[in-house]
Amino acid sequence: MKIIDVLNDKKLSISFEVFPPKMETNFESVKMATEEIAALHPAFMSVTYGAGGGTSKYTLEIAKNIRDKYDVPTLAHLTCVSSSRDTVRERISDMKSLGIENVMALRGDLTPELEGADRSSWDYQHAIELVRELREAGDFCIGAACYPEMHPESTNQRQDLIYIKEKVEAGADFLTTQMVFDNSLFYNFMYKIRDLGVTVPVLPGIMPITNANQVEKALKLSGAFMPLRFKSLVDAFGDKPEAMKQAGIAYATDQIIDLYANGITNVHVYSMNKPDVAETIMGNLSDIIGERSVGFRWIGEDN
Ligand code: FAD
């Protein structure tokens, strides 16, 4: 099933992101965790992909397994940075032969080794090139990334937004945001992107922070703003693991409910291969998920 059809359904829904193992020895435990999340029957699940393609085999294997075993639509991520055109074409061909219909087209994170590299000889510089290639290669539903607080490498938000618009014009069917901890920043982004004429669904990315160690890593990776309300919670409970987990899940749940109440129909949760976290969030929303959306529409949305 194409994810754009799930999104156009306009029912309040949730999707979860999982990541493949970095080493083969962890494959079974990761597979089990992803299956436990799939058994909750979210609207769809996305499976990340290592920049450079190191864990690519597992991405497709996990995406196929979840779809076939649990009938949950899956979104396989694909990155292009530092990959050769031949490698990317091979992955696209693997996706076709496995019947993968949904692809998240990404440039990929620049690892420390890649950051200093001479990029001029790379086959791909930006995600838009991958979006174009996927659009030409087959009938894929294509997702792309966006950044309510600007991509960390950008210095000009308007230019960043224009690049996002170009990715959509090149063929992206929907966008998913980097993690946000303050919904008002997401709403602000929505006004700007709709004003630029981007009308595709935009899924806010919510990261439930369930232990204090996650905070620094998450902020470094995303450059996201952490509201005082969240900082206070980490200060108060950061050294009490169970309390921190409960508070982090409650904070994420609160963000999701606010998003639904403001006309957003699907929220993407970075569930980090943690079935218990996914299950608690789903439980907190049990009477909300599946409801029709509140009827509020963002500027530029036509249905
Ligand atoms: P781009 O769209 O190429 O943007 C990167 C930078 O280049 C931005 O600053 C942008 O403004 C600029 N830019 C874009 N187009 C142009 C252009 N035409 N000319 C000049 N500048 C341009 N990483 C992984 O490695 N694996 C994953 O599975 C993964 N999943 C992700 C899922 C989501 C929802 C998100 C938000 C991020 C994910 N990432 C993943 C991280 C992502 O790869 C990084 O954020 C990366 O730095 C940028 O990827 P992008 O696709 O947004 O790149």
pLDDT per residue as tens digits for the range 46-105: 999 976 556 678 999 999 999 999 999 999 999 999 899 999 999 999 999 999 999 999
Cα–Cα distances (Å) from 235 to 220, 250, 276, in that order, read: 18, 16, 23
Assess whether pLDDT exceeds 60 at residue 303. Answer: no
Which residue owns the Cα nearest ligand 1 atom 40?
Answer: 108
For ligand 1, say whether the CB of 157 is within 6 Å of any of its atoms.
Answer: no
User: Ligand 1 centroid to 110 CA: how many Å?
Assistant: 9
Mutation to probe ligand 1, out of 18, 47, 119, 151 (largest number of atoms < 8 A from CB): 151
Cα–Cα distances (Å) from 242 to 176, 206, 237, 269, in that order, read: 30, 20, 9, 20
Burial of 95 (0-12, 13-18, 19+ CB in 10 A): buried
Q: Can you read off the two tokens belonging to residue 75? A: 């979104």
Mean predicted confidence (pLDDT) in 284-294: 91
User: Ligand 1 centroid to 120 CA: how many Å?
Assistant: 17
Q: What is the mean pLDDT of the chain?
A: 94
Report yes or no: 6 and 266 within 8 Å, Cβ to Cβ: yes
User: Ligand 1 centroid to 59 CA: how many Å?
Assistant: 18
Q: Can you read off the two tokens belonging to residue 20? A: 């493949």
Q: What is the pTM of this model?
A: 0.97
Q: Which of 104, 63, 54 is nearest to 82 (CA)?
A: 54
CB atoms within 10 A of CB 139: 8
Q: Can you read off the two tokens belonging to residue 38? A: 């799939």
Predicted local distance difference test score (pLDDT) of residue 196: 97
For ligand 1, say whether the CB of 122 is within 6 Å of any of its atoms.
Answer: no
> CA 221 to CA 124: how far, in whole Å?
22
Predicted local distance difference test score (pLDDT) of residue 119: 87
CB atoms within 10 A of CB 301: 13
Range list of β-strands (E), 169-297 = 174-179, 202-206, 266-270
Q: Is 292 helix (H, G, I), strand (E, B) or coil?
A: strand
Q: Can you read off the two tokens belonging to residue 23? A: 């080493």
Q: Is 45 helix (H, G, I), strand (E, B) or coil?
A: strand
> CA 64 to CA 73: how far, in whole Å?
9
User: Ligand 1 centroid to 53 CA: how many Å?
Assistant: 15
Q: Which of 88, 1, 98 is nearest to 44 (CA)?
A: 1
Predicted local distance difference test score (pLDDT) of residue 202: 97
Return the half-sphere exposure (C-beta side, CA atoms, 13 A cut-off) of residue 107.
18
Each residue's pLDDT tens digit, 32-56: 999 999 999 999 999 999 765 566 7
CA-based end-to-end distance of the chain = 21
Mutation to probe ligand 1, out of 49, 126, 186 (largest number of atoms < 8 A from CB): 126
> CA 281 to CA 253: how far, in whole Å?
6
Please report the atom of ligand 1 found closest to the CA of residue 144.
51
Report yes or no: 282 and 40 within 8 Å, Cβ to Cβ: yes
Residue 165: band (very low, low, confident or very high) from pLDDT cuts 50, 70, 90: very high
Which residue owns the Cα nearest ligand 1 atom 42?
Answer: 108
For ligand 1, say whether the CB of 163 is within 6 Å of any of its atoms.
Answer: yes
Each residue's pLDDT tens digit, 227-279: 999 999 999 999 999 999 999 999 999 999 999 999 999 999 999 999 999 99
